[in-house]
Structure 1
Amino acid sequence: MAITKRQITIVLSVLASLAHHPPKPPHSTNRSPQYLAALSSLAAYALHSSHVYSLPIPDIICALTLALPPLAGIVLETVLTLHNTLAQKGQLHSSRLFQITLTAFCIFETVLATLAGTHISPPGSLDCALRERWTELFSAKEGEKIARIQDGFECCGLRSVRDMAFPFPDAGHGSEACVVRYERDTACMDAWRGEERKVAIMLLVVPLAVFVWKVAILLSPSSSSAFLPSAIRLPSEDGQGGSRSRGAIEYHDAEGVAEEGEADSVRAEVNRLNKDSNVASYVEGGRVKAKNGLWQDHENWRETQ
């Protein structure tokens, strides 16, 4: 199957979004590339923030969230193109593949949204993971990472300005070295927790936005014929899969149709029913008369005996 122009546009737009230069769409009415590029940029920013501030959010969640928008765009476009191609050939059994693909993406998006939601609320439950992360950095003497957190939020230490702060205590200076050097009086816990929640919200928005985008694509008039089962599609005008569709039931006014002489009008149907009723009445009347005549002949015969 040949690669469509829209597939190429989606791939190029996603790659360009990572370089912060999203391309213009080939048509002004097609907003999908920009939409997916914006979601990719949002996920890329979340991944960057999580890495810079050493947040206790697994990198795999950020990476999968970053891959979701371009993957959804390419796969959905490919499946729709395949379905339309097979539909034109009269082979509509690809609907099962389409349903499996949608189900898989729904599960994927639900898992990502759930994992991201665990880093949003309640705030008190986040403190444990943050403290464990800071303790790991402090124990491994990751001074550069701790300094990056402290410089980013202009703070010192975790719960207090002396709690595992950088510079680390040594023979030359004590735990107050950060306060003395930078003249800061704020601990990092609150600001660090707020950054984790902000990144988690961005990671939650991306799968939800991709889901909304898929629903909008599938419900759009241009895509409805690609995923609706053939049993509920409206028949075409010429019966050969033409582009013009018609309703399954058509209504015509009796007066207008009668004046146009159409045979299937309501008045013509009523006339046919009346004619059939008259014929039935005539036949039934003849049958009754014949029966009465036979009965009268029988009575006359008995009287003569």
Structure 2
Amino acid sequence: MAMTRRQVVTGFSVLYLLGLTILAAYALRSSHLYSLPIPDVVSACVVALPPLAGVALETVISLNEKLAAKGQLQTSRVFQVTVGFFLVFEAVLATLAGTHISPPGSLTCALGETWQDLFKRKEVERIKRIQDTFSCCGFNSPRDMAFPFPDATHGSDACVVRYEREGACFEPWRDEERKVAIMLLVVPVAVFVWKVAIVLAPSSQSSWLSSHIRLPSDSSHQGSATRRRTLPALGYRDEEGQGEEDSLYKAVTDLNNDSRLATHVESNRARSNGVLNDAARWRDNDE
């Protein structure tokens, strides 16, 4: 059985939104795993955005189709409120994600505060996970708040001595934050693009247009053709009722004749004026 256009669009939308959800879930996992200074609530909202948008728009489409089948008014107001809500929601999430991308200087403070907080609370597992993932030691330098923490038996260079690492964690950690933020930014933008595509290119069985401006169906075309056949034929007739079918052509011909006559009269008058002017000049010369 051949699939309808609506089924194809629905299947593509499900796969598209599922891919965006997986991308957002991966970003949430990375943000939490590497203790990035990105609020978990922002990442969680980005994860929830694709399925929520899909369910909401599909519900509005189904409701519109049911009401249209019953000959009732479509729920255009519900559609406008739904689209407006998700537009604001997507803009807020995209803005919050964009603050963790650039400029790079603004990322230093948040990363430094997060690392310092982890160091003060002796978060061994979280700092060790960051250092092991990016093969680094400390924040700004290999001896800056690195694990193992300095104590009576360990100096500030304990990480360098034990793991033989010379690089600091700031640069790779910041790059990871920007990568996660880009993924969180892509998701709401991609959802917005999908929503616009659904609105501007609806399936053959659903339409976002109002019933007053919807294109006529085949049955309406047939009805229009029937009505046109029943209309009496109209022909051009002159004002005097002579019954001439080519009265329009006659009217144009008359206008052309009048134009040529006016041109001829004007040229004769100009010629006459020129003769009179010459006679006047001759008379003045004779005097």
TM-score by length of 2: 0.76
Work out the CA distance in 2 between the residues paired with 1:171 and 1:57.
35
Is the 1:235–1:247 contact (alpha carbons within 8 Å) kept by the matching residues of 2?
Answer: no
The SS at the match of 2:149 is coil
Is the 2:137–2:165 contact (alpha carbons within 8 Å) kept by the matching residues of 1?
Answer: yes
- 1:126 matched to 2:89? The reply is no
- 1:85 matched to 2:66? The reply is yes
Which residue of the other structure, out of 43, 46, 54, is the alignment partner of 1:65?
46
Work out the CA distance in 2 between the residues paired with 1:154 and 1:167.
14
User: % of aligned pairs identical?
Assistant: 62
CA deviation profile, 1:41-60 (whole Å, cap 9, x unmatched): 10010001001100000000
The SS at the match of 1:230 is coil
Work out the CA distance in 2 between the residues paired with 1:247 and 1:162.
84
Give the 3 Å change call, closer, same or farther, for CA 280–60 of structure 1 in structure 2.
farther
Following superposition, the deviation at residue 37 of structure 1 comes to 1.0
The SS at the match of 1:136 is helix
Tell me which residue corresponds to 2:25: 44
Give the 3 Å change call, closer, same or farther, for CA 27–230 of structure 1 in structure 2.
closer
Is the 2:46–2:184 contact (alpha carbons within 8 Å) kept by the matching residues of 1?
Answer: yes
- Could you list the runs of 5+ residues in structure 1 that have no partner in the other structure? 1-25, 240-244, 251-256, 282-305
AA in 1 matched with 2:40? D
Work out the CA distance in 2 between the residues paired with 1:246 and 1:195.
62
Work out the CA distance in 2 between the residues paired with 1:188 and 1:223.
55
Work out the CA distance in 2 between the residues paired with 1:247 and 1:182.
84
Give the 3 Å change call, closer, same or farther, for CA 104–247 of structure 1 in structure 2.
farther
CA deviation profile, 1:75-126 (whole Å, cap 9, x unmatched): 1101110011111112224110011000000000000000000000001110
State how 1:133-282 maps to structure 2 within 5 Å: 133-222=114-203, 225-239=206-220, 268-269=233-234, 271=235, 273-274=236-237, 277-279=239-241
Following superposition, the deviation at residue 234 of structure 1 comes to 2.1
In terms of Rg, which structure is larger?
Answer: 2
Which residue of the other structure, out of 32, 53, 56, is the alignment partner of 2:13?
32
Work out the CA distance in 2 between the residues paired with 1:280 and 1:185.
106
Superposition RMSD on alpha carbons, in Å?
Answer: 2.6
Tell me which residue corresponds to 2:36: 55
Decide which moves more: 88-97 or 190-199.
88-97
TM-score by length of 1: 0.71
The SS at the match of 2:59 is helix
Is the 1:225–1:233 contact (alpha carbons within 8 Å) kept by the matching residues of 2?
Answer: no
Is the 2:38–2:100 contact (alpha carbons within 8 Å) kept by the matching residues of 1?
Answer: yes
Work out the CA distance in 1 between the residues paired with 2:132 and 2:242.
100
AA in 2 matched with 1:274? R
Number of residue pairs the alignment of both structures matches: 235
Give the 3 Å change call, closer, same or farther, for CA 30–177 of structure 1 in structure 2.
same
AA in 1 matched with 2:187? V
Give the 3 Å change call, closer, same or farther, for CA 127–98 of structure 1 in structure 2.
same
- Could you list the runs of 5+ residues in structure 2 that have no partner in the other structure? 1-6, 244-287
Decide which moves more: 29-38 or 76-85.
29-38
Following superposition, the deviation at residue 218 of structure 1 comes to 1.6
The SS at the match of 1:124 is helix
Higher relative contact order (CA 8 A, sep 6+): 2
Work out the CA distance in 1 between the residues paired with 2:99 and 2:166.
30
AA in 2 matched with 1:71? L
AA in 2 matched with 1:79? V
CA deviation profile, 1:241-297 (whole Å, cap 9, x unmatched): xxxx6899x9xxxxxx9xxxx5759xx42x2x417x34499xxxxxxxxxxxxxxxx
AA in 1 matched with 2:165? R
Tell me which residue corresponds to 2:284: none
